């Protein structure tokens, strides 16, 4: 019996902005989260877009008319908390907004790009951030996974 194929994460940058997230880092983040959350990813597409495109996606799919840093779409219709295997999805990330946040939070851009990827992967697993309590839990998990990643850089 052959080993299962490793999860695939593909990065596309159509934003016109420099993106400071390396493929190797994205692979490591995917593996760290998968291992620690007992989740398996099959395929994740990360698409970096500009502000106009993130607003268009936000309006079309979520009926929201504003710029956001990331929008996560999972391909299946399973309730997320019930299915943590073979996860597939697309993360639309707004490069200009991520750079603004890095400046606002006095964080290096590279670290903010990593945080946003972690945030999106957590959404694909099933975590939500609609309430203050959920947001606190997501932020704590983001910090944990950033620390794990940075301990091995």
Distances (CA, A) of 42 to 52, 66, 99, 106, 128: 29, 30, 29, 34, 21
Q: For 132-143, write each residue's pLDDT tens digit.
A: 999 999 999 999
- 67 alpha carbon, distance to own chain's centre: 16
What is the Cα–Cα distance from 76 to 93, expressed in whole angstroms?
Answer: 20
Q: What is the pLDDT of residues 21-76, one digit of tens each?
A: 999 999 999 999 999 999 999 999 999 999 999 999 999 999 999 999 999 999 98
> Cα(84)–Cα(78) distance, rounded to whole angstroms?
10
- Model pTM above 0.85: yes
Could you tell me the domains of the chain? 8-151 (3.40.390.30)
């Amino acid at each position: 019996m052959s080993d299962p194929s490793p999860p695939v994460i593909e990065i596309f940058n159509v934003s016109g902005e420099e993106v400071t997230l390396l493929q190797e880092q994205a692979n490591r983040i995917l593996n760290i989260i998968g291992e620690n959350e007992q989740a398996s990813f099959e395929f994740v597409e990360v698409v970096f877009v500009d502000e106009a495109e993130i607003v268009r996606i936000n309006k079309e799919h979520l009926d929201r008319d504003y710029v956001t840093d990331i929008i996560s779409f999972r391909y299946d219709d399973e309730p997320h908390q019930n299915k943590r295997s073979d996860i597939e999805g697309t993360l639309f990330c707004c490069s200009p907004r991520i750079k603004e946040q890095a400046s606002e939070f006095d964080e290096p851009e590279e670290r903010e790009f990593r945080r946003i990827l972690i945030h999106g992967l957590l959404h694909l697993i099933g975590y939500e951030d609609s309430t203050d309590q959920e947001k606190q839990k997501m932020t704590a998990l983001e910090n944990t996974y950033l620390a794990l990643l940075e301990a091995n850089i």
